[in-house]
Chains A and B, each alone.
Chain A
């Protein structure tokens, strides 16, 4: 029981500490931190559009956080979520804008194809590791470059709106019947958020209820023992990497199909969601539901930052500092754990 309390407390304290440190920084800027945080909160949660904005910001982070966390449970560090997001987005943009086929042109089938694109792209890294022993950190970083250049090429040539003479590197808008439904009127919050939550449940279910998840975790914790027990560790690595890539790819699909980028793939639309996913997974303790909470927190910071900048005149970049401090503190969690254990220990004795 004490362990559960601890693993819940560490992220909470990390967030609190980060906010306090940033408050000090805001004071040094000559601004009022309480006022700044008030507008931060207001911008994140006050009213329908604020909440919608928080969730819109959170949605891609849920996907990429799940991707990193899922791979991590198999003992794999997926740095390549960025590339997988791009591949998912490109797949959605290409299929949604160019394919004229009633079988393909429906949301469900789009999702399946996007998942397949992410699965295959990430499974390359899994295959390289399983068969040739290439470390997944190296191969996923390299594959990120492949994806980034692929994006450049696709948006400037085959997918470019208006052909080669088109005005800017972007794909044409996707057809209406593959666009994600809007779930909150008057905002951009779309069905992609619901799919993200479903993905979290699916990830949890695979990891905790299925034979496959049991085997993936066994490989992640102790591959030689898993191999000894007859588990095919190569296939489990490839599968875990592929599933991870599918989650990431759905983030790309959500940005394109969910109306965030005017229903099209704009150059640079995928920002740094892949890398932010690492932070989200870290903060969520690699637990699917923890990832959802962490992603919403990061989403809230981003949504609130704009209002904070506008109303309190505190630059929105401050929240990047908050995020950075959170990551450092979580990564150095053992310091906390030690202090907390002593605290609980003394309490138990008293």
Chain B
């Protein structure tokens, strides 16, 4: 027996020129919750994928329970008692809970599936760990929190002793997060060992015993949670001091600029996604829309930008109707838009940074010649040079392909472009999703700067802390409707959490 349940020593892994893991050490005791934190690209996922047998390490050794092991496949990892709960669940939505759990280890003989035995096995596991679930429920009918529970049960069923959680709270409501913490504590009581990957510092302080920080593929240090503060961890993650204070300048809001009146919008499947939604945003005000992903936020934002057909209702800017117009006309009417999905909607990855900085205004501000048919490349690259400096986009090389930038810098390019457009309204949808701490700080300050310039700003985010930090008013969206709207000073995480799951506030 060894003191450590899991030891990874001197792990290195490179992809081409990129050193994703550089000589990383990790030692976790039995019964410990170990948080592994780091910015995007710090090497957390690579390290965990090595542990789970998805990548072979270039060098380094792994010990499980004191024995040196080599983990070539996820199957080998499972046999060693290592199981991973992925951020994006590995479930077949059309199958039942029991069918999902036995996938790969189906009970039965002669090629026949013994469904009763499967059900028994599921019940046994779920009773053993006190994680109640209906084995016959269809996975697609379960809430996200329950689906995660199925994932956890699935790896427990396969005999996991070391459980790796990859950003498990990203998709959960605050209440579901609390429930997950309870489950984790129970698993620890049962003698399991937990690795918890995250970049949310509040979670780290709440659930972890020990914290390992990675930075740019290297081991940046380790500390016990008792000695840790948010600032300390953030400094280790970024390598410099991070200020959590935002530069909030008091602004007296003006008249309503963006008005949404009784809006109805359908989803791709033709079902109502936004129902009878009304909201107004004033100049010099940030309104935050909180809510679990998939409650109509995407459809709302697409409708505001003319990307999705409006079934009924009206959208006005400064009293002028923009609903039913094409995206270009809406943009010209004064809406800037930071799309939620950077790769899908926001930018053309293969284009250089300079081209992406002008996407949407290329035909007006950067066109020249006969009937403005030609592009003015000198101006495009000249302005790109300036904006790279102004918005601290690194590397400041406008000719570099967009997709070669880090996530944070890609998002800065998108934000810079939208800020440079002439606009009255800024719609920021998940403005800091998948972005490192340094860039989050910068983007938040840019949005607050916008507010000081009397723009009307709508922030849609699944990240509750972001909504709480930025907003003057907070609206909660649930099943396509705004079921509560309150001033920032009246809002608490509990209140919003209750509304996010469709609950009602007493008072």
Chain A interfacial positions (CB closer than 8 Å to B): 209-212, 214-215, 217-218, 221-222, 224-232, 341
Number of chain B residues whose Cβ lies closer than 8 Å to a Cβ of chain A: 30
What is the total of A-B residue contacts with beta carbons within 8 Å? 69
Is B464 an interface residue, CB under 8 A from the partner? Answer: no
Known pairs A228-B339, A232-B326, A232-B328; A214 contacts B362 (CB<8 A): yes
B375 lies within 8 A of A210 (CB): yes
- Please name all residues of chain B whose beta carbon is closer than 8 Å to the beta carbon of A230 when the two chains form the complex: 326-332, 360
Q: Is the CB of B373 within 8 A of A221?
A: no
A211 contacts B326, C-beta separation under 8 Å: no
> Contacting B344 at CB < 8 Å: which of A209, A217, A224, A231?
A224
Complex CA gap A206/B49 in Å reads: 46
Interface residues of B, Cβ cutoff 8 Å to A: 16, 305, 307, 326-332, 337, 339, 344-351, 355, 359-360, 362-363, 367, 372-375
B415 to chain A, nearest CB (A): 14
Report yes or no: B375 in contact with A228, Cβ–Cβ below 8 A. Answer: no
Distance from A112 Cβ to chain B, minimum over Cβ atoms (Å): 19
Alpha-carbon gap, A221 to B346, bound state (A): 12
Q: How far is the CA of A229 from the CA of B346 in the complex (A)?
A: 8
Are B347 and A225 within 8 A (Cβ)?
yes
Q: Enumerate the 4 nearest inter-chain pairs by beta-carbon distance, A residue then B residue, closest first.
A: A230-B328, A229-B360, A229-B359, A230-B327
- Sample of 21 A–B contacts (CB below 8 Å): A211-B362, A217-B351, A218-B348, A221-B349, A222-B344, A222-B348, A222-B349, A225-B339, A225-B344, A225-B359, A226-B348, A228-B305, A228-B327, A228-B345, A228-B346, A229-B331, A229-B360, A230-B329, A230-B332, A230-B360, A231-B328
Residues of A with C-beta under 8 A to B16: 341
**Which residues in B have their C-beta under 8 angstroms from that of A232?**
326, 328
Provide the bound-state CA to CA distance between A221 and B350, in Å: 7
Most buried by A among B16, B362, B367: B362
* Complex Cα spacing A232 to B363, Å: 12
Main secondary structure of the interface of A (DSSP, over half): helix
A225 touches B327 (CB 8 A): no
Residues of A near B346 (CB, < 8 A) are 225, 228
B-side contacts of A229, CB under 8 Å = 327, 331, 359-360
Option from A214, A221, A224 in Cβ contact (under 8 Å) with B345: A224
The answer to whether A228 and B348 touch (CB under 8 A), given A209-B374, A210-B373, is: no
Q: How far is the CA of A229 from the CA of B305 in the complex (A)?
A: 10
Contact A214/B355 with A221-B348, A222-B349 known, Cβ cut-off 8 Å: yes
| B299 → chain A closest CB, angstroms | 14
A222–B347 touching, CB < 8 Å:
yes
Min CB distance A339 to B, Å, is 14
* A212 B373 Cβ-Cβ under 8 A: yes
Give the docked Cα–Cα distance between A229 and B362 (Å): 10
Smallest beta-carbon distance A234→chain B, Å: 11
Which residues of the partner chain A approach B372 to less than 8 Å between Cβ atoms? 211
CA distance A225 to B359 in the complex (A): 9
Docked Cα-Cα span, A43 to B228, in Å, equals 80
**Bound state CA distance, A221 and B356, in angstroms?**
12
Instruction: Report how far A207 CA is from B48 CA in the complex, Å.
Output: 44
Of the listed residues A226, A229, A231, the one surrounded by the most CB atoms of chain B closer than 10 A to its CB is: A229
Assembly CA distance A338 to B420 (angstroms): 40
CB of B374 within 8 A of CB of A210, answer: yes
The answer to whether A227 and B307 touch (CB under 8 A), given A211-B362, A218-B359, is: yes
Distance A209 CA – B362 CA, assembled complex (angstroms)? 12
- A225 and B348 contact, CB distance less than 8 A: yes
Which chain A residues border B347 with CB–CB below 8 Å? 222, 225
Nearest neighbor of A226 in chain B, beta-carbon distance: B348
A224 to B332, CA, bound (A): 19
Q: In the complex the two chains form, what is the Cα distance from A217 to B375 in whole Å?
A: 13
The docked-state distance in angstroms from the alpha carbon of A221 to that of B344 is 10
Find chain A residues with CB under 8 A from B330 CB: 230
Contact A228 B373 (CB under 8 A): no
State A228–B335 Cα separation when bound (angstroms).
12
Residues of B within 8 A of A215 (CB): 362-363
Residue from the list B349, B351, B360, B375 in contact with A209, Cβ < 8 A: B375
